[in-house]
Structure 1
Amino acid sequence: MALTNAQYDAIMHEYEERRSLHRQELEDRQRYVYDNVPGYKELEDAIATTSVNFGKRLLSGERLDRSALKKEIAELSRQKLTLLTEAGFSSDYLDMGYTCQDCQDTGYIGNEKCHCFKQKIIEALYDKSNLKIMTKSANFKLLTDKYYTGEDLKRFQGAVRTSEDFVKNFNSDYQNLFFYGTVGTGKSFLSICVANELLKKGHSVIYFSSLGLFTMLSEYAFDYKAKQELHDIYEDLYNCELLIIDDLGTERVNSFVLSEFFSCINERDIRKKSTIITTNLSLEDLQAIYSDRIVSRIVSNYKLLKLTGPDIRKLKKIAKKESEDLQ
């Protein structure tokens, strides 16, 4: 399911709006400096005048030393920078700002799509996954350990530290996470917290519930029309920087699911693309339900993070109802 022309145009329009906004912000900063740093505007005008006069003399046939022009402009620029910093501004105060420094808000690095453009494609194509909605209510700032005690608390705090390190080292350290344990203990929440942070850094993230993932793969494999529509999604499963498979074990397990699941995690491992899996299954259940080679891949290539404790979703519902009853 490639982008439609309308979707592509909408993305490019957003980049143009970004550039326009940053240009306006730069112009506002320039006006502020002109009004508040005496002599700065005059130096800037002097650079422009010097360059224009040099060009006119070249066009008139004079043989001039370009290095002299460079030295003069360099000295004027140095004086500008001195005025700027002595007035309390940072040396890069009048540099152009960009939302994405890598592509400078063009969407492309050379002829290749930037990682931020790829994420916008994913957002357009996978809008039904509700990842954007989920990240609004799941981030590290909203985490609380008040529902955990004893060993449950230690496990939760350890899982949070590991998740934060996963984000911090994402660019340099290939890792996979496997959250497992009892129902309602924050496994999915933590995975979305990670997704939220990586999305903000411009990384490509795809989220699927386990049931949704294998339903899509089944349609791709057995429905010819769907295969054409789902081709790009299928490819992105292997190429996105982070894939989240949520609630493993809710799908109907059969030979097709086992084969596709192994293919997915194995191929992503070969390509060094990170994956996060969450499940309510115990490791014993995992061993009983899935093939040995799947379990072997997970145990050897994923950080296993067990979360236990009360069902937090249930506790929150009870607390909300009690609060409403008191009103």
Structure 2
Amino acid sequence: MAYDGKILRRALQRFEEDKRAREERARDRREGVFHRQPRLREIDAELRATMSRILSTALRKGTDPRAAVEALKKQNLGLQEERRLLLEGLGLPADCLEEKPACPLCADAGWRDGRMCRCLKAYCAREQQRELSRMLDLGNQSFESFSLGWYSEAEDPALGVSPRENMDWICRTCKRYAAGFGQGSGNLLLTGDPGLGKTFLSAAIAREVSAEGYSVVYDTAVHIFDRFEARKFGRELGEAVEADVERVMDCDLLILDDLGTEMTTPFVQSALYSILNGRITDRRATILSTNLKLDELARRYTPQIASRIEGEYQVLPFFGEDIRRLRKERG
């Protein structure tokens, strides 16, 4: 489980900005207190000097520093008591001049025991949510807001099930997938006509998985293949295009939307196979969303691609009336 470099850099930037803002507020608060009672500034400086003398005395070679250290400690305690009384006279708590870290676990370092602290993980999660929200309506598209009421209860004679029953099964499947997400969670193929809820449920999965700290990349097939082509043929140089390709290959969950809308060139077929095969080999989960049916995918792409999809993806077939059109008609 790891956030990609793009997300981590943004999270670290915001983390440091907030940390500096807290430090500035703490300094302003201290200056306000010192302005009200100047003796507190003197005590603060004396306490800092006393601590330095304690350390230097304790480290002095050739002498027994214990007596001097004890004397300095008493002086330190006396200053602390004077400070407490002065603050009490101002109606302030004894610790109001202390700079307390926002995170008690890592003291605002962001890392603990060589691992990312939960405070920095929260920043990463928010940055990833912002990134996903550029293409998905994460604010409204969730499992809780998904409604089966738009799907007909009339049974489809050819399939032996109604659109509502089918969508109930698909929704429950997606919920289980998101709730139990982890390495080796497997892959999903969302297939069906436009306007049936594929993007909605993709967003719901992305929202849940991202909130658990997994890295999620959502993008269209057209844009992903464009980035792969730019790297392959040197159309764009620099770190940005390389980072985009790495994000696609290395994220915990890739949601590749609108597969089949791109121009199907030999390069696109090669890139698609590399994505699918590479992520399967690394046990990284992928969700493919397409308006094409399974047999149409097989005709459009290579037999190797069709084989990988059929063998490694759970197929979720969407059918029914266009929900977007129904919403528009019903106002």
- Counterpart-to-counterpart distance in 2, 1:120 and 1:197: 16
Report the Cα offset of residue 12 of structure 1.
Answer: 2.3
Q: Deviations over 1:93-134 (max 9, x none)?
A: xxx9979x9x89754354455798689669869967644752
1:220 is aligned to: 231
Structure 1's 219 and 287: CA in aligned 2 closer, same or farther, altered over 3 A? same
2:266 is aligned to: 255
Structure 1's 124 and 164: CA in aligned 2 closer, same or farther, altered over 3 A? closer
Code of the residue aligned with 2:141 in structure 1: it is A
Structure 1's 304 and 4: CA in aligned 2 closer, same or farther, altered over 3 A? closer
Aligned pair partner of 1:163 in 167, 170, 174: 174
Structure 1's 213 and 5: CA in aligned 2 closer, same or farther, altered over 3 A? closer
Contact kept in structure 2, 1:176 and 1:276, CA below 8 Å: yes
- Counterpart-to-counterpart distance in 2, 1:141 and 1:113: 31
Structure 1's 2 and 306: CA in aligned 2 closer, same or farther, altered over 3 A? closer
Report the Cα offset of residue 254 of structure 1.
Answer: 0.7
Larger CA deviation: 147-156 vs 184-193: 147-156
2:311 is aligned to: 300
- Counterpart-to-counterpart distance in 2, 1:297 and 1:18: 51
Report the Cα offset of residue 275 of structure 1.
Answer: 0.6
Q: Deviations over 1:195-248 (max 9, x none)?
A: 011122221111111111111211121235435431122112111111100111
Aligned ranges 1:238-249 → 2 under 5 Å: 238-249=249-260
Structure 1's 5 and 123: CA in aligned 2 closer, same or farther, altered over 3 A? closer
- Counterpart-to-counterpart distance in 2, 1:162 and 1:216: 31
Contact kept in structure 2, 1:266 and 1:297, CA below 8 Å: yes
Code of the residue aligned with 1:134 in structure 2: it is D
Report the Cα offset of residue 306 of structure 1.
Answer: 0.3
Q: Considering only CA atoms, is the larger Rg found in Structure 1 or Structure 2?
A: 2
Contact kept in structure 2, 1:122 and 1:206, CA below 8 Å: no
Higher fraction of helix: 1
- Counterpart-to-counterpart distance in 1, 2:135 and 2:122: 12
2:140 is aligned to: 137
Secondary structure in 1 matching 2:150: coil
Report the Cα offset of residue 261 of structure 1.
Answer: 0.4
Contact kept in structure 2, 1:177 and 1:303, CA below 8 Å: yes
Code of the residue aligned with 2:142 in structure 1: it is N
Report the Cα offset of residue 174 of structure 1.
Answer: 1.8
Code of the residue aligned with 2:296 in structure 1: it is D
Structure 1's 290 and 8: CA in aligned 2 closer, same or farther, altered over 3 A? same
2:297 is aligned to: 286
Aligned pair partner of 2:213 in 188, 197, 202: 202
Q: Deviations over 1:132-173 (max 9, x none)?
A: 752112111110001212321122111111111111111265
Q: CA RMSD in A?
A: 3.7
- Counterpart-to-counterpart distance in 2, 1:246 and 1:117: 30
Report the Cα offset of residue 253 of structure 1.
Answer: 0.5
Aligned pair partner of 2:288 in 277, 283, 288: 277
2:199 is aligned to: 188
Structure 1's 224 and 203: CA in aligned 2 closer, same or farther, altered over 3 A? same
Larger CA deviation: 113-122 vs 203-212: 113-122
1:32 is aligned to: none
1:232 is aligned to: 243
Larger CA deviation: 164-173 vs 175-184: 164-173
Instruction: State TM-score, norm by structure 2.
Output: 0.64
- Counterpart-to-counterpart distance in 2, 1:139 and 1:105: 32
Is the counterpart of residue 309 in structure 1 residue 320 in structure 2? yes
